[in-house]
Structure formats: structure tokens, C-alpha cells
Structure 1
Amino acid sequence: MEYLNNLKAILHSKRANIFYLEKCRVLMKDGRVVYLTETKKENQYFNIPVANTTVILLGMGTSITQAAVRMLASAGVLLGFSGTGGTPLLMGAEVEWMTPQSEYRPTEYVQGWLSFWFDERKRLSVAKRFQEARIEYLVKVWGKDRDLQDHQFFCDEDDIQRSLEAFRKEISGANSVESLLSSEAQLTKRLYKAAAKRTGHGKFIREREAIDSANTFLNHGNYLAYGLAATCLWVLGIPHGFAVLHGKTRRGALVFDVADIIKDAIILPWAFICAQDKLKGQEFRQHCLIQFTKHRALEHVFELVKDVAISKGNMEEQV
């Protein structure tokens, strides 16, 4: 029982692990959550450090016991079912999240969020704040990451600087969510073009159903970012439907808003680099998780969302 009480000693924003599992069983063994892989010669058990884990995605060919779910819930681990490679199944079998239940989660963040959310102008101001944070994080990551720089990703290159400066001006001048979304789309296109140029990809067209490596890696990497965003929002108790930028008809739109803060800085360049290096999907996803930890991506989104929720309810209107 003492072990259960100590599971939450590590803050969610400081936890290091995200697991994607397939073709295995997740169960309890000797008081620990483990996953079991079965081979012709032997069965192997691997420990899952639940106290230092934020998300577990169960892919194809997995099963989990009720006792393991109970332990994961006690540790506050977000559990999800996904398709192959961590990419959620669409149509009638979209990914289903099981969130640990607690009546004692703090309410200050959701109350702060809702205090501004019903004011359209304040909501737009927060959307602008998120987009500014997106640029700041990209500049921070690209400005110090030697591996990215080895692949010619510099935040002070002329084409990148022009794109970011143009977006900053468009953020400042945007008077509606629609105009901000349009500017965001243009920035993403410019960054795709810059990444394709640096990796010798040639002409690139973003298509979610395409089967080329760059498009596939972007899909898989984006879903990893969605996992971080969903974890942040669940821990803070902010419902995913209270978005500030993305579609009002999407139940999980706030997840997209938060994930955008880190996607361009990490997922976008590494999708092209790993495609150039002809890496496999699993290698790319592992690389993304390492980059998330290296650049404290989860902690970054926690800090921003918490600051917005606490401070923006009484903010001065900036629109």
C-alpha cells in the first residue's frame, strides 16, 4: 500500500516515459506492471516504471489485465488503444482513451480556463499566445540542437527567419480565428518546403493518406505530440473540447491547439531527416520520444497551459 501512495511522487510534467506496445500482454507480476512478450523459445517480462510514465499506447495484438489497469490508474498513467505504429484507428474504431479517475484533481485550471473561454476576444488572444509560443519553442530548439544543425536546420537561416517574421506580423494583425488559422497553414507550408530542401526530398505535398516516408512519419509523430497534449490537459483537468483555435466541432480540438506548440520544432524536421535516412517507423518514433525528453517538451506545454489558465481569466484584452 505504501508503494501505491508513493506512485505520484514524480510530477507528470517531469516524467520521462511514453510506451507504445504491440504483440504483448500487460499484467501485474510481483506487485509491478510488466509486459510479456512470447517467443518460441522463451517468455520475457519487462518492467514498466509506472511512476515515471505519462502515456501507454496499446497497439495491435495487445491485451491488459484489470489489475494492471488499476495500478496504472493509481499512478495517473493515461492509457490508450491505437492502431499499428501508434496511429489511431479511424472510422468506427478511433482511439479510445481511458483516463484515471480521481475526484480530488485540482479545479483551479479548468475554472481559470472557463473564466476567459466564453469571451471570443480573450479566446483569440490566447490562440495568439499559443502561436507565439510555437515560434519561441522552435527558435529555442533549433537554436541549440546540434543534431538538427548538422542537417542544416538553423533558426537564423534567411528562409526560416523570413517565414517566422511574416508569421509574427500575421499573428499580431489577425482579428479572427479564421485569419489566424490561415496564417498558421501558410507557416506550416513554408516550413515543409524548408525541411524538404534541407533533406533533398524534392517537391513535398502534405497528404495524410500518402504512403511516402515523410508523410507517414509526420502522421505518427503528430500523434505522439497529441499524446503529450492530452496528458497535459487531463492532468490539469481541462476538457479537450474547449479549444481556442481549432475546429469547434471537434471534441478533441484543444489537444491539437496544445500539440501545435511543439510539433514544428521537433516532429517536422525529424520526419524529413528520418525519411532521408530511410529509418523504420519504430526508429523514428523512438527518436521523437528522445527529442521530447531532451527538449523538455511535456514540461514546456505544462508550463504554458498552466500559465494561461491561471493568468488569462483576468487579462487585459489584447485584440
Structure 2
Amino acid sequence: MDDFSPSDLKAILHSKRANLFYLEYCRVMQKDGRVLYLTDAEKENLYYNIPIANTTVLLLGNGTSITQAAIRMLAQAGVLVGFCGGGGTPLYMGSEVEWLTPQGEYRPTEYLQGWLSFWFDDSQRLKAAQQFQQARIDFLRQVWQKDRDLKVEGFDFNDSQIQKALDTFYTRTAAATKSADLLLTEAQLTKTLYKYAAQTTGQSGFTRQHQSVDKANDFLNHGNYLAYGLAACCLWVLGIPHGFAVMHGKTRRGALVFDVADLIKDALVLPWAFVCAKENATEQEFRQQVLQAFTDHKALDFMFDTVKAIALQGKATEETEEQAL
């Protein structure tokens, strides 16, 4: 196959791409200049096209294989590829999704440089973490006040239980002196949101268990990993390595992915996990619902906007000071 440039694909901005694919029991290959996946039917092989120029993430689950030519085309199109277990979750306990990031394209430098301009300063890194937490709640407010389907299910941002928890959250977040304080405050708020969602959907006695014991926990795990895929894509496009976290610790693998994914998890993954569990939805139905919610509320756009704003705020301050001089 002849070489081609990403511009030949009529490239679409990553924040505007529509597709996130999860495939299992198939073979991904390049054929006639396209990336296809092949499934076995009873009497014939069936080929399906993957629109790579409009795809952000390709998750390969159980029973999949991929050719070198297909990986090359995916890399040139800027598609993030991950190998995972069934349903988009890790194959082994304690292991993160192993991401293969395209290496053949140049990425911007200003966001990494802006990020590093504050990251080594403990107080500035804490400030960025507090901004993440504020953005997270702003997105929760925006989604829960706007989404008619969630309102029908009983999710009300102005509920007294939610507002009381947020008052405590704001006070403790502002008073935090280290990231561990923020993580504790975050955990307390999320616990309240779990309790509220369980009560709203009539699922009494819910306990969050990462080793799933029921559908709500299954869906929370599944939805969180979809959010991690979006976060990893956002950081790769902006050229910021996953190790420069502001919340989840300096030595934890992929920690910044968790920070960015947290921006949308409470607003979108959490309520739909409980709603779909109440309706006894299948895993595929839940995945389709969450991905549609990501699209409807422009979750990836919100991630990009938040990370870019935090990365470049130091540069904006420097420019203001230069202008003053």
C-alpha cells in the first residue's frame, strides 16, 4: 500500500469524532485502503467497515486479532487502540487497559509546556486539582439540569440531599492543603451520589464493589472504562503524558487519565449505570446509552476545554504581566 498522510483522510478533530468501537470475536484488517473487521457467519465471512477518520478509540476485546497493516492505518488516522477483556474492562485484575498510541504524528507542545509550568509547584498543582473538582461539579449541574431523560428518572440536581453534600464538598475543597484531602472529599461526595442514585432508582442496600456483584456495579465499571478511553484520547491529542496527575498521585500509572475521566463520570456514567440496572438492560444496551450520553452532552469537548484551559492559564498570566510591563 502506498504511503498517505493524515490529511488524505479528511481529518476530523478528535473532539468532534463520533465513533468509539468495542469489538470482540473478529479479525481487524486492511483491505483496499480501508480498515475492516471480519466476523464468521454460518455460511460466509462478513466484512464491516470502520470509519477511521471519524473514530477516536478502538477497543479490542476477547477473541480479536489485528494485522500490522491495519494498525499502521489506524495510527496514521490518529485512532487510539486498546486491548482489553470482555465488555471493555481489563482482562487481568489490577491491570489498566494497555493503550497503543500512534507515534507517527507530531503533537502540539504548548499544552505540555503549560502543564509543566505549574506541575512541579505543589501549591499550583493543588490549585489545578481544585479547578478540576469545580469543573466536575459544573458539568454535573449542567447535565442533570438539562437532560430530560434523567429528570424523568428522578435525578434532580437541586435535591436537598445533593445540595447539602455539595456545600460540604465546596468547603472542604477550598480548605484542602494537599491532594489527599481532595481525594477524601471526592470520595465522600461520590458515596452520597451513589446513595442518592440507588434511592432514586429503588435499589436499596447498594454498596460500591469494584469486583462486581450486581448489574449496577458492573455498569459502573464498564462506563468508567469508557470514560478512561475518552480521557486517554484527550491527553494523547494534547500531548500531555499520563504521569503528570494533579489528583491521583505522582507514581500511579495513568493517573492523569483518572483525573480527566472524573470530570464526566459522576454526571453521566453514575446515573445511567443505576437507571440501566433498574431496567435490567444488557451490557450492550448500557454501553450504547452511555456513549449516546457522551455525544449528547459533548463529554469529549468538555474534557478538551477543561484540560486546555488549565494548561494554558499560566501562559495567559505571563502574557498579562508582560503587557503590564
- Give 1:230's aligned amino acid: A
Call closer, same or farther: CA 1:92–1:270 in 2, change over 3 Å.
Answer: closer
Moved more, 283-292 or 55-64: 283-292
**Aligned 1:46-57 pairs, distance under 5 A:** 46-57=48-59
User: What is the CA deviation profile of residues 172-213 of structure 1, one whole-angstrom value per residue up to 9, with x for unaligned ones?
Assistant: 121221111111010000000000000000021111013200
Match of 2:64 among 62, 65, 75: 62
Moved more, 210-219 or 87-96: 87-96
Call closer, same or farther: CA 1:315–1:169 in 2, change over 3 Å.
Answer: farther
Contact 1:113–1:313 (CA<8 Å) still a contact in 2?
A: no
Measured in 2, the distance between the counterparts of 1:264 and 1:93 equals: 23
Which residue number corresponds to residue 245 of structure 2?
A: 243
Call closer, same or farther: CA 1:31–1:148 in 2, change over 3 Å.
Answer: same
| TM superposition shift of 1:221 | 0.5
Which residue number corresponds to residue 259 of structure 2?
A: 257
Contact 1:8–1:75 (CA<8 Å) still a contact in 2?
A: no
User: What is the CA deviation profile of residues 80-138 of structure 1, one whole-angstrom value per residue up to 9, with x for unaligned ones?
Assistant: 10000000122596532110013521111111101100000000000000000000000
Match of 2:88 among 81, 86, 105: 86
Which residue number corresponds to residue 288 of structure 2?
A: 286
| TM superposition shift of 1:30 | 2.1
Call closer, same or farther: CA 1:92–1:228 in 2, change over 3 Å.
Answer: closer
1:6 aligns with 2:8: yes
- Give 2:85's aligned amino acid: G
Measured in 1, the distance between the counterparts of 2:43 and 2:307 equals: 49
1:206 aligned counterpart, secondary structure: coil
Which residue number corresponds to residue 321 of structure 2?
A: none
| TM superposition shift of 1:66 | 0.9
Measured in 1, the distance between the counterparts of 2:267 and 2:169 equals: 15
2:250 aligned counterpart, secondary structure: coil
Call closer, same or farther: CA 1:215–1:93 in 2, change over 3 Å.
Answer: closer
Match of 1:120 among 103, 107, 122: 122
**Aligned 1:6-25 pairs, distance under 5 A:** 6-7=8-9, 9-25=11-27
TM-score, normalization by structure 1? 0.95
1:77 aligns with 2:79: yes
2:253 aligned counterpart, secondary structure: coil
Measured in 2, the distance between the counterparts of 1:89 and 1:247 equals: 24
Call closer, same or farther: CA 1:234–1:6 in 2, change over 3 Å.
Answer: same
| TM superposition shift of 1:315 | 5.2
Between the two proteins, the alignment pairs up a number of residues equal to 316
Identity of aligned residues (%): 64
Which residue number corresponds to residue 150 of structure 1?
A: 152
Measured in 1, the distance between the counterparts of 2:95 and 2:122 equals: 34
Which residue number corresponds to residue 95 of structure 1?
A: 97
Measured in 1, the distance between the counterparts of 2:66 and 2:192 equals: 43
Call closer, same or farther: CA 1:313–1:174 in 2, change over 3 Å.
Answer: farther
Measured in 1, the distance between the counterparts of 2:312 and 2:286 equals: 36
Call closer, same or farther: CA 1:23–1:248 in 2, change over 3 Å.
Answer: same
Which residue number corresponds to residue 133 of structure 2?
A: 131
Runs of 4 or more above 3 Å deviation: 1-4, 91-94, 312-316
2:38 aligned counterpart, secondary structure: strand
- Give 2:24's aligned amino acid: E
Which residue number corresponds to residue 186 of structure 2?
A: 184
Call closer, same or farther: CA 1:110–1:299 in 2, change over 3 Å.
Answer: same
TM-score, normalization by structure 2? 0.93
Call closer, same or farther: CA 1:164–1:54 in 2, change over 3 Å.
Answer: same
